[in-house]
A and B are shown apart, each in its own frame.
Chain A
Amino acid sequence: MGVPPLGCVKRSHPMTATNIDTAAPTHSPDRHFKYWIIAPAIFLLLLIGIFPLIYTLIVSFQHITMSENDKAFAGFRNYAHLFTDLRLWQALLHTVIITVMALPLELIFGMLMAQLFLDRMPGRQIFVSLLVLPVMISPIVAGATWRLMFDNRYGPINQIVGWFAGHPVTLLWNIRPDLVYPAIIFAEVWQWTPFMFLILLAALSNVDRSLTEAAEIDGAGYWRIFFKIVLPAIWPVMAVALLIRGLDLFKIFDMIWALTGGGPGTLTETISIYTYIEGFQQFETSYTGAIAFLVVVLLTVLVTWAIRRMGLAK
């Protein structure tokens, strides 16, 4: 709907009930009010939204490294290097592995937990309050905690595994390539399943019970009702939760930094960790610019696709 300019003649306008432009006399000091109040926020958002993009792009076409500071146009050499950088593509692969493993697990466990707490249950709020604690902890603290938990000798995890195995075990969670991913995903799922749980519990509570009960009377089975009635009803909320978590997983840094530091070797290096190492430890400034730009492009494509696919655009 068109916005009448602030200085325009006021008139009653029933169609724009949420627009107070038309509601009252306008004073001259108020003329640019709507721009004054939006300007500081927009300025700051440009600082983190547009400036980094442009600056990264410029730097990525130069040749700045730890030893050189060549600001001349260097063409596409940094971008060409992206294609031959095996470590970059491995980092991307690690990120994808963690995302596609952790996200469905968080969703499924979150859904099961939500189902468990959905019905009347005295004291439910106490359980929910306790269960949601991991979400509020800093990921760096969560990673540190799991680093202590997974310690091969003094950590409780090996002790507990030992109970089930029937004999003491010394699993090197941070070192063995076949165990380090389960460790990361376990920690990740531990921290963020409650996030899914809390949102799904709220969404499921809002589903109109008369619909499901009517379907039940009509003889529809549990799964049929779930997929035909419950899932479509909670889908908008679930899609947002998946989007938030999917994006956060793609950007994952803190938790892994604390838990494995990207190791053993570079085996658990994610794209964010690799970008950090190139930029702040190797000081490959220009090349980091190219990586950062690639990440932003990938993420933009991914988000646009996800939003379209999930029907969130409406």
Chain B
Amino acid sequence: MVDYGALFVLFLFGIALAGTIVAMATLFGKKLPNRYKKQVYEAGSEPLGDARIRINVKFYMVAISFVMFDLETVFLMPWAIVAKEFGGAGLAAAMFFVGVLVVGLIYEWRKGGLEWE
């Protein structure tokens, strides 16, 4: 518990420190805004339209694959720590778990879910 208390103190400290550093950006430094500074940078030309545009779905594919395999990792970690206690039976259980997800990975691969077109 003491260690988690230390974490809590560190988070408070971190928030204060990061906040101070960013706040210093607005405190120091003159503000001399003009029309061109307030434009977004688009390689020198006038910005065309808004940046609130729809993005390709392939990014979504990456994110959902990440969630799936991240969860796999999280479930494997508790087994990995105590694997030596459970020996072969534990290994079989974990291998079934990994095997099902390898099937998923192969499926996604074959269907082109991992392609970056």
Q: Do A and B bind each other?
A: no
